[in-house]
């Protein structure tokens, strides 16, 4: 099939087994993929399948659906879905709404690298450090409240940590750069000639955005939304450290963690993890399915 | 480039930059708070601490056994980088050079661990590792961390390998190079920039990877970020400044590698995959 295939050793019995495999793309080079594939099957697919089956064999006995029935009948457990969505959806929408206009502005910048480097800091440092930093910074004696009080916007410190807003802030600090950098890579991937053509024909900047960029970017935005949402939905360290892990920010990952490492009920923990996966999958599929409603086609090449 | 010069357009630009500056200011103030606090003698109810000291670094170092933790962190990260490099580059080569049945399925299999958040697959993974007795050990933590890094290396390396002309390899074959020689003398030198970039990104990501390490680490296999989590979680037991000193040590370890990595990669690559280079 190509120059690298072994030289044909034609026999009376036709091509050998090795040659027949090579013709379908299986040869020594293809086998290089095997170690990584086995690794992925062992440590990713197998645990998922194992967890899926384990979730149907409850630790406390009972029938195969007992874990799921317990989850959906205990308000302490099923409320975690609503609480997590109530954090993840607004944060993701806010991050995306902020990222789009900023990406459109930064696209025109000559020295993007400084800004992107600054924005990559919170992603690199991770949620634990951001949580630790925000605990000080947003606390009643922190610089944030102090500044607002000095300006005279507020007379008493705002309560911003150990509640919903602490987690919200940490998700914006780590989530916005992620959303922004993804958006920027989609926005810069569109040929500026398309916009210039629109401008030549007299479209205003809003019209150029609405009728040229938005339809082209919609698929990219859908993917950005999904990735950012999935990140926010699985919030864990900051919900414990910055939030109220027994109350309004008892997110679903906390429920899964407690089942596994405080009750040692791996069966229940797997059930919660599967529910978490299915909610994420549900939202992602819904968003990606609606992508089919928008334009799909070339966006970069204007040369014919 | 199109420049709008109307008043509304200018106001819009100002508003956007105001948001960016507000975000960046808050980010730096947050990092600044941690650094300031780690050098503070006493900091209560004022803009700046009463005095400055470096003794918190001494106490953090001994209280949290940071020497051991750092050693374990670098051993784990080193193993993860090495193994994901070997598994990832070989698999990427096969995927970039051959078309075979089930290739799309395989690529999907490698894509999933990057799309699914670590905590979702981490809990079933931790369950399996606890049952096999691997959890809590050094290799358990390495194995868990490899789950997202092997696919990451594969997906970063595929476009890198695709842009190398297969004729070069064919020429080496013609002159009698076997697969091993071909790899060492032809492919490795050509791929080195890509491998370096991918592995540096793996390094930075593994140092900061909290969830997977947290779920499977035992007392002797904690990395720095997990130790930091436990310190913040048990805040009140230790002085705040001591925890902040540890946070600064963590920041320095991460940022040193980030700065090295940024010499070879574009910051956006930490979030998205490497953009495919034009072929000519």
φ/ψ of residue B189, rounded to 5: -60, -35
- Residue A137's pLDDT is 92
Taking CB atoms and an 8 Å cutoff, what residues of chain B touch A36? 87-88, 90-91, 110, 150, 154
Share of chain B above pLDDT 90, in %: 41
The whole-number average pLDDT for the span B165-173 is 88
pLDDT tens, B10-58?
Answer: 898 899 999 999 999 999 999 999 999 999 888 877 888 888 888 889 9
| Residues A224, A261 share a domain | yes
Based on the domain organization, do A23 and A170 belong to the same domain? no
Q: Kindly tell me the number of DSSP H helices and DSSP E strands found in chain A.
A: 14, 0
Helix (H) or strand (E) holding B252: helix B240-262
Domain count, chain A: 2
* A223 to A10, A182, A228: CA distances (angstroms): 51, 9, 9
Please check whether residues A206 and A99 belong to one and the same domain.
yes
Given a cut of 60, whether residue B278 has pLDDT beyond it is: no
| In a shared domain, residues A43 and A99 | no
Do both A37 and A73 map to the same domain? no
Do the beta carbons of residue B88 and residue B126 sit within 8 Å? no
Q: What is the pLDDT of residue A302?
A: 45
Q: Band of the pLDDT at B154, cuts 50, 70, 90? A: very high
Q: Domain holding A158: CATH number? A: 1.10.3720.10
Dist. CA A161–CA A138, nearest whole Å: 6
All structural domains of chain B with their residue ranges: 1-53, 64-270
Q: Residue A26 sits in which domain range?
A: 17-54
Over residues B261-273, mean pLDDT? 72
Helix, coil or strand: residue B228: helix
Q: How many CA atoms lie within 13 A of A198 on its CB side?
A: 18
Tens of pLDDT, residues A130-180 = 999 999 899 888 899 989 988 888 888 888 889 999 999 999 999 999 999
Which of B121, B120, B232, B209 minimizes the C-alpha distance to A84?
Answer: B120
Tell me, yes or no, whether A286 lies in a domain: yes
Neighbouring CB atoms inside 10 A of B106's CB total 19
Judge if A30 and A94 occupy the same domain. no
Round to whole Å and give the CA distance between A230 and A252. 12
Sort out which chain B residues have CB atoms less than 8 A from A127's CB and list them.
210
Question: What is the pTM for the complete model shown?
Answer: 0.85
Chain A residue with the nearest C-alpha to that of B234: A241
Q: Are residues A186 and A267 in the same domain?
A: yes
Residue with tokens 């059930």: A271
Q: So what's the ipTM on this one?
A: 0.84
Consecutive 10-residue averages of pLDDT for chain A (304 residues): 48 69 74 90 92 88 84 89 93 94 86 86 89 90 89 87 92 92 87 88 87 88 90 90 87 91 90 91 86 64 44
Do A228 and A81 fall into the same domain?
yes
Residues A40 and A185 occupy one common structural domain:
no
For domain B64-270, the CATH superfamily is MetI-like (1.10.3720.10)
The answer to whether residue A250 is domain-embedded is: yes
Same domain? For A49 and A72 the reply is no
Query: Closest by alpha carbon to A132, among A157, A161, A172, A165?
Result: A161
Residue B198 sits at the chain A interface (C-beta within 8 Å): no
pLDDT, one tens digit per residue, over B217-251 is 988 889 999 999 999 888 777 888 889 999 999 99
How many residues are present in chain A?
Answer: 304
State the average pLDDT for chain B. 87
Nearest to A182 among B116, B247, B272 (CB): B272
> In this complex, which of A98, A118, A205 lies closest to B9 when CB atoms are compared?
A205
Q: Which residues are registered as beta bridge partners of B40? A: B52
Same domain, A46 and A141: no
Inside any domain, residue A60: no
Tokens of residue B155, six digits: 């997906």
Residue with tokens 């001994």: B62
On whether residue A157 sits in a domain, the answer given is yes
pLDDT of B272 reads 60
Q: For residue B144, list chain A residues with Cβ-Cβ distance below 8 A.
A: 43
CA angle A289, B92, B110 (to 5 degrees): 35
The answer to whether position A248 is within a domain reads: yes
Question: Is pLDDT above 50 for B149?
Answer: yes
Cross-chain CB nearest to A185 (options B2, B115, B268)? B268
Whether the CB of B169 is below 8 Å from some CB of chain A: the reply is yes
A173 falls within a domain = yes
Nearest CB to A33; choose among B91, B125, B209: B91
Least CA distance to A119: which residue of chain B?
B24
Beta-bridge partner residues of B52: B40
Looking at beta carbons, which pairs linking A43-46 to residues 24 or more positions away fall under 8 Å? Answer: A43/B125, A43/B143, A43/B144, A43/B146, A43/B147, A44/B109, A44/B112, A44/B113, A44/B121, A44/B125, A44/B147, A45/B109, A46/B128
Same domain, A177 and A107: yes
């Amino acid at each position: 099939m190509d120059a690298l295939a072994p030289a044909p050793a034609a026999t009376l019995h036709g091509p050998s087994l090795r040659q027949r495999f090579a013709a379908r793309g299986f040869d020594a080079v293809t086998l290089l993929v095997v170690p990584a594939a086995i690794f992925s099957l062992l440590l990713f697919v197998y645990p998922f399948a194992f967890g899926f089956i384990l979730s149907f064999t409850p630790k406390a006995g009972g029938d195969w659906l007992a874990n799921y029935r317990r989850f959906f009948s205990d308000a302490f457990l099923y409320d975690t879905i609503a609480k997590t969505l109530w954090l993840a959806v607004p944060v993701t929408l806010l991050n995306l709404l902020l990222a789009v206009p900023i990406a459109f502005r930064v696209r025109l910048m000559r020295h993007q690298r400084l800004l992107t480097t600054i924005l990559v800091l919170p992603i690199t440092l991770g949620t634990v450090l951001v949580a630790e930093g925000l605990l000080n910074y947003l606390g009643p004696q922190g610089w944030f409240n102090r500044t607002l009080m000095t300006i005279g916007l507020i007379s008493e410190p705002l309560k911003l940590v150990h509640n919903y807003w602490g987690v919200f802030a940490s998700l914006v600090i780590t989530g916005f750069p992620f959303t922004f950098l993804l958006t920027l890579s989609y926005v810069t991937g569109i040929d500026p000639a398309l916009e210039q053509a629109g401008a030549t024909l007299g479209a205003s900047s809003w019209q150029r955005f609405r009728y040229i960029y938005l339809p082209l970017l919609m698929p990219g935005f859908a993917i950005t939304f999904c990735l950012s949402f999935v990140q926010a939905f699985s919030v864990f360290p900051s919900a414990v450290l910055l939030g109220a892990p027994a109350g309004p920010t008892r997110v679903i990952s906390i429920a899964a963690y407690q089942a596994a490492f405080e009750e040692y009920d791996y069966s229940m923990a797997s059930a919660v993890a599967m529910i978490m996966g299915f909610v994420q999958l549900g939202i992602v599929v819904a968003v990606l399915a609606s992508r089919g409603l928008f334009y799909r086609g070339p966006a970069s090449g204007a040369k014919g | 480039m199109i420049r709008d010069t109307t008043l509304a357009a200018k106001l819009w630009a100002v508003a956007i930059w105001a948001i960016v500056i507000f975000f960046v200011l808050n980010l730096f103030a947050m990092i600044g708070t941690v650094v300031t606090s780690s050098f503070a003698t006493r900091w209560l109810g004022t803009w700046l601490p009463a005095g400055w000291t470096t003794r918190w670094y001494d106490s953090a170092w001994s209280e949290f056994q940071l020497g051991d933790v750092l050693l374990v962190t670098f051993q784990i990260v080193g193993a993860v980088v090495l193994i994901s490099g070997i598994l990832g580059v070989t698999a990427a080569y096969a995927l970039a050079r051959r078309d075979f049945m089930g290739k799309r399925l395989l690529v999907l299999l490698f894509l999933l661990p990057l799309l699914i958040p670590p905590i979702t697959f981490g809990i079933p993974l931790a369950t399996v590792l606890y049952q096999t007795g691997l959890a809590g050990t050094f290799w358990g933590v390495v194995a868990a961390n490899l789950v997202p890094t092997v696919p990451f290396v594969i997906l970063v390396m595929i476009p890198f390998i695709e842009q190398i002309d297969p004729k070069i390899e064919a020429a080496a074959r013609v002159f009698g190079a076997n697969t091993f020689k071909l790899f060492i003398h032809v492919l490795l030198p050509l791929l080195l920039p890509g491998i370096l970039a991918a592995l540096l990104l793996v390094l930075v990501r593994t140092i900061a990877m909290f969830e997977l390490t947290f779920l499977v680490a035992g007392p002797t296999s904690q990395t720095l970020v997990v130790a930091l989590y436990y310190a913040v979680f048990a805040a009140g037991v230790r002085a705040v400044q001591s925890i902040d000193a540890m946070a600064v040590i963590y920041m320095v370890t991460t940022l040193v590698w980030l700065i090295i990595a940024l010499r070879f990669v574009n910051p956006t690559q930490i979030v998205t995959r490497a953009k495919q280079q034009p072929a000519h």
